Amino acid sequence: MDGSESRENLLAVKAASAVKTTGVPAPCWSCRGPVDRSAVFCGTCAAVQPPGQTDYFTRLGIPPSFDIDGALLDRRYFEQQRQLHPDRFATRTGRERALSQSQATAINEAYETLKDPLRRADYLLQTRKGAATPAGCNMVNDNALLMEALELREALAEAGTADAVKLLARRSETDIESCLRNLSSAFAEDDLKMASWLTTRLKYLRKFADDCRARRLQLARA
Amino acid sequence: MAQLLQIHEPGATPEPGTDEAPLAVGVDLGTTNSVVAIGEDAGVRVLRDENGIGLVPSIVAYAADGSAIVGELARRLMLDRPEAVVGSVKRLMGRGIADVKTLAGTLPYQLVDGDGSMGTGGRMARVVVAGHVFSPVEISAEILRALKERAEMQLGRTVDRAVVTVPAYFDDAARTATRDAARLAGLEVLRLVNEPTAAALAYGLDEGAEGIYAIYDLGGGTFDVSLLNMQKGVFQVLATGGDAALGGDDFDHAVAEHFLAQRRQQRGDEPLAVADVKLALMTGRIAKECLSTQKWGEWTLNIGDVPSLHRFDRPALEGLLDPLIDRTIHICRQVLDDAGVDPADVQGVVLVGGSTRVPLVRQRVGELFGREPLSDIDPDEVVAVGAALQAKALTRGSETLLIDVTPLSLGIETMGGIVEKVIPRNTPIPVARAQEFTTYQDGQQAMAIHVVQGERELVDQCRSLARFELRDIPPMTAGAARIRVTFAVDADGLLTVSALETTTGSEQKVAVKPSYGLTEDEMAQMLYDALQHGAEDMRLRVLSEARVEAKRVLVALAAALAVDGDLLTDEERQALDAQVAAVETAIAGEDRDAINAAVEELETLSRPFAERRMDRGIRAALSGRELKDFEAAGR
């Protein structure tokens, strides 16, 4: 009894230190043997593992960068879902079904974030700087940005025909494209201050494009 | 023994613990008709009655003692005993009485609130039929039970699993109600599949060209249009739209109204009984169906023993239907707009639902998309065929994978009745999103959380899904508490909401069921009632679960022994093997408790083995790392 207790203590100590040292295996919930912390399936018994904490790029197996290969992202996403979606576990034990659900949820979260340039930029800023404007927040601190946003908004309010709105929408599309190009170089040069500014700009350009669409539909229906 | 167990690729393991090949049926639980089908090696077989009819009218007739008749027989009773017959109950799934007020004229039976009153208690509406009060869940369960029986008769074995289809437009409450109904009927739902996705599967679009497909589904009671994006064998629902209260029933209704108006012109106002309305609706339906193939006809309406003759032709019918079809075309345009898809980008259009037999519907849909729609598979059966294919894929494995999206945005009520969206619509599921909220008063210890579904910005314009209160928040100054509300939607589109106070680490977790669903108590009572007939079903299911878990443990242990068997002494190995044999014997038996006890014993016995394996694994990892560190330092 004593012997097994001290063994358990030893394991507990090791397990605690393992949290800090990546590369030290965790016990598999199913066969209870060692399994790599980033493994999706146990190498020994093939049981599905909990998703764990991994950055989105690693989870989907693509290089961490603002410039991603969209086709590769899609392919990796579908490969992962093919293995881990709850439908693949429909006839398994409840535990396995629940784990596949959390895996599929984590994959969807990673994919949805990386697929969209704005969310991807936000995510990169968060992970590189540690803190950034939360996603969806429309704070504009910069005067130049603020003026540009106001001018566009006024122009939209004055646009009385579908064609006038279309013109504005086309302009904002061009702006978004150049903003994305600039974001790409800012991230490539690791200029996080510039990247952060461009991300804010992208946010309101996107918002403006949405508003243009809504206004166009409104005019079309009237 | 244990060594003989096979290890399968992840995700490819066939289900252990059953002696027969796993089997699940596909069920299209429709508003007007339902269909059950089975996927076999040779393809999909729609399970038909002795007359070769696959459609089961979704109509239930109740006797005074509460026993039920489902299908064609019940439909025939509609005229003689209207007060004992109920149909179109799918329209009530997960809906409160206030939601269906507008339907009151089209549903010829009495509705009461969940608590039996006529008020607006915010619970699922109940139907008064044959002197009893039934929930839509119970009535749907009767239909599902009839489909299950039909399948069991024809297949000669127990059927207790199914893939059930729901409109893509169904909200969380309606999906939960559908799942509850299946549970009540003794069917485990392997997956709720959106009807349009099932239709696409039926046409084998998952194996066809990649691209965007539109599914136009005009059934008896609901209209749905969905845009699916098929890439690399994976379906994504790009956008869905529809009207949960528009369908062929409305066509019948328009024709019946037309006949009744003609009658009023001839004879002036006359009192109409419930049976008269049903007669008019039935006549309207017959006229509509005839005019899909004929140019004109004459129908008689016999009310109060006074017949009236109605001559009616296709142009007149189309004049009545055009505004209704227009609504569907308008919704199609909106959905295309939503997804930013041009009609010309759509690679194929699939027609679903009996109402798409109406020539004007085909014509208008063809015009919108500029292409001839697909309609080779019977539009009444196509959804069940797809569901059966998915059921086969889930039980036997397949390359096809369905990834669905949330049909409507999910959010929470904040100050001023504004909706804060937590999960926007068209987000791939399963998904979990968390949002942080805080208190607005010093010392506030409770917080009301109101979950809503819909696209509008104001709470009153969205659909209320659930309300619950988070209590025991530690008293703090206003704005100091951090309450993390997590929305989780599973692969079936079912929502669970939980809330947790994070600053103090005091965890508060509340999972909610939708307010329009059944309470756990009601469900337990219904299950208990159903168990009077289904105790054996339940026992078998529980036994099957124990077997699945036991086999999982055996497979895991066998795999571990194959890798690390050398960590055991011969005596230890013999003891383990003996216990493995004991588990296998228990699995072969019928006693769930014996299986669980044997598994527990095996887990205890193998614990030292697991510890030694962990030790070895950690040691290997650490030595590998030290070696690397050493190499790095030496450089």
Other beta carbons less than 10 A from residue A36's beta carbon = 19
What are the helix (H) ranges across chain A? Answer: 2-20, 56-60, 70-84, 94-115, 117-129, 143-158, 162-188, 192-221
Peptide bond into A27 cis (omega under 30): no
- Average per-residue pLDDT in chain A? 82
A56/A17 same-domain check:
yes
Task: Report the residue of B237, B402, B552 to disrupt the A interface, i.e. the one with the largest count of A CBs within 10 Å.
Answer: B552
Q: What are the φ and ψ backbone dihedral angles of B487, each rounded to 5 degrees?
A: -105, 125
Closest CA relative to residue B538, chosen from B165, B176, B191, B158: B158
The 8-class DSSP code of residue B567 comes to G
d(CA A97, CA A104): 10
Q: Which of A129, A152, A168 is the last residue of a domain?
A: A129
Domain shared by A120 and A207, yes or no: no
Q: Chain A partners of B210 at a C-beta cutoff of 8 Å?
A: none
Distance CA B30, CA B374 (A): 21
pLDDT at A4 over 50: no
User: Is the Cβ–Cβ distance between B451 and B410 less than 8 Å?
Assistant: yes
C-alpha angle with apex B558: B553 to B559, nearest 5 degrees? 100
Please tell me whether residues A179 and A119 are part of one structural domain: no
- Any domain includes A209: yes
Q: Do A27 and B557 touch (CB under 8 A)?
A: no
In what helix (H) or strand (E) does residue B594 lie, and over which residues does it extend?
helix B592-605
CA dist list (Å): B533 to A22, B151, B188, B395, B539: 55, 17, 16, 26, 12
Residue B439 token pair: 């208190």
Clarify whether residues A37 and A95 are in a common domain. yes
Q: Are residues A123 and A197 in the same domain?
A: no
| Residue A134 belongs to some domain of the structure | no
> Looking at the predicted structure, is the pLDDT value of residue B240 above 70?
yes
- Which token pair is B42? 């040779």
Full DSSP string of B300-333: EEEETTEEEEEEEEHHHHHHHHHHHHHHHHHHHH
Q: Residue A109 and residue A135: Cα distance in Å, rounded?
A: 14
Q: Does any domain span residue A138?
A: no
A170 and A96 both lie in a single domain: no
* Domain containing residue A189: 143-221
Asked if A8 and A117 sit in the same domain, the reply is yes
Q: Provide the pairing of β-strand B33-40 with B43-46.
A: antiparallel
Domain termination site, one of A64, A95, A129: A129
For B158-226, the DSSP string reads ---EEEEEE-TT--HHHHHHHHHHHHHTT-EEEEEEEHHHHHHHHTTGGGS-SEEEEEEEE-SS-EEEE
Residue A205 is assigned to a structural domain of this protein? yes
Chain A residues near residue B563 by CB distance under 8 angstroms: 33, 44
Taking residues B92-107, report their average pLDDT: 69
B23-79 pLDDT, tens digit per residue, is 899 999 998 899 999 999 888 999 999 889 999 999 999 988 888 999 998 988 877
B547: tokens are: 């077997």
Residue with the two structure tokens 């693509």: A62
Angle subtended by helix axes B382-396 and B195-202, to nearest 10: 80
Residues A160 and A78 in one domain: no
Cα–Cα distance measured from residue B431 to residue B429, given in angstroms and rounded to the nearest whole number: 5
B486 and B457 in contact (C-beta within 8 Å)? no
Q: Are B228 and B336 in contact (CB under 8 A)?
A: no
CA of A19 vs chain B CAs: smallest distance (Å)? 12
Phi, psi for residue B229 in degrees, rounded to 5: -110, 120
- Sign (positive or negative) of CA dihedral A15, A19, A25, A31: positive
Question: How far apart (Å, rounded) are the C-alpha atoms in residues A103 and A48?
Answer: 9
Res B210: pLDDT: 83
**Separation between Cα atoms, residue B168 and residue B407, nearest integer Å:** 6
Q: Report the gap between the CA of A111 and the closest CA in chain B (Å).
A: 10
Cα B64 to Cα B112: distance, rounded to the nearest angstrom: 19
Residue A61's pLDDT is 92
Question: Which of A14, A47, A101 is facing B430, going by the closest CB pair?
Answer: A101
Closest CA to A106 of A26, A23, A190, A40: A40
The predicted structure's pLDDT at residue A1: 39
Which residue does chain B place closest to A88, by CA atoms? B11
Q: What is the pLDDT of residue B513?
A: 58
Mean pLDDT of B356-366: 94
Residue A93 lies in a domain: yes
Q: Are residues A182 and A154 in the same domain?
A: yes
Q: How many residues are given for chain B?
A: 635
pLDDT at A13 over 90: no
Q: Is residue A135 part of a domain?
A: no
Which positions ≥6 away from B97 have C-beta within 8 Å?
B111, B112, B113, B114, B118, B119, B120, B121, B125
| Chain A CB within 8 Å of residue B588 CB | no
Place B420 in a pLDDT band, splitting at 50, 70 and 90: confident
| Domain stops at, among A72, A97, A129 | A129
Q: What is the CATH classification number for the domain harbouring A123?
A: 1.10.287.110
Scanning B14-53 for CB atoms below 8 A from A yields 15, 22
For residue B402, the chain A residues in CB contact (below 8 A) are 87
Which CATH number goes with the domain that contains A148? 1.20.1280.20
Closest CA to B20 of B158, B213, B168: B158
Cα–Cα distance between B13 and A89 in angstroms, integer?
A: 9
Q: What is the ipTM of this complex?
A: 0.76
In a domain? residue A137: no
pLDDT of residue A9: 42
Substitution target in B15, B20, B210, B403 with the highest count of A β-carbons within 10 Å is: B403
Q: What are the CA-CA distances from residue A62 to residues A68, A77, B182, B589 (Å)? A: 8, 10, 42, 49
Length of chain A in terms of residues written: 222
DSSP at B373: P
* A136 belongs to a structural domain: no
pLDDT tens digits, B536-589: 666 777 888 899 899 999 999 999 999 999 999 999 999 999 999 999 999 999
Whole-angstrom Cα distance, residue B485 to residue B499?
4
pLDDT 10s digits, A113-124: 999 999 999 999
A4 contacts B401? CB cut-off 8 A: no
What domains are there in chain B, each with its CATH number? 12-203+378-397 (3.30.420.40), 248-322 (3.90.640.10), 410-516 (2.60.34.10), 542-617 (1.20.1270.10)
B387-396 confidence digits (pLDDT tens): 999 999 888 8
Number of H helices, E strands in chain B: 13, 26
Domain total for chain A?
A: 2
Task: Give the Cα separation of B235 and B401 in Å (integer).
Answer: 7
Q: Are strands B188-194 and B296-303 parallel, antiparallel or unpaired?
A: unpaired
pLDDT at position B3 is 35
CB-CB under 8 Å, A8 with B232: no
C-alpha B233/C-alpha A40 separation (Å) is 22
> Does residue A11 belong to the interface with chain B, where contact is any CB pair within 8 Å?
yes
Alpha-carbon distance A59 to A77, whole Å? 9
- In a shared domain, residues A47 and A82: yes
Q: Note whether A46 and A125 are same-domain residues.
A: yes
Residues 375-394 of B with CB under 8 A from A: 393-394
Under an 8 A CB cutoff, do A45 and B625 touch?
no
Instruction: Record the pTM.
Output: 0.76
- Asked if the model's pLDDT at residue B9 lies above 60, the reply is no
Q: Locate B196 and state its tokens.
A: 């349009």
pLDDT grade for A72, boundaries at 50, 70 and 90: very high
- Among A11, A46, A104, select the one facing B614 at the smallest CB separation: A11
B475 burial level (CB within 10 Å; 0-12, 13-18, 19+): exposed
* Orientation of helix B314-339 relative to helix B359-369, angle to 10°: 30
A217 touches chain B (CB under 8 A): yes
Q: How confident is the model at residue B11 (pLDDT cuts 50, 70, 90)?
A: very low
Same-domain check for residues A37 and A108: yes
Query: Out of A7, A83, A87, whose CB is closest to B402?
Result: A87
Render pLDDT for A76-115 as a digit per residue (tens, 0 to 9).
998 899 899 998 898 888 899 999 999 999 999 999 999 9
- Per the prediction, chain B carries an average pLDDT of 83
Upper half-sphere CA count for residue B219 (Cβ side, 13 Å): 34
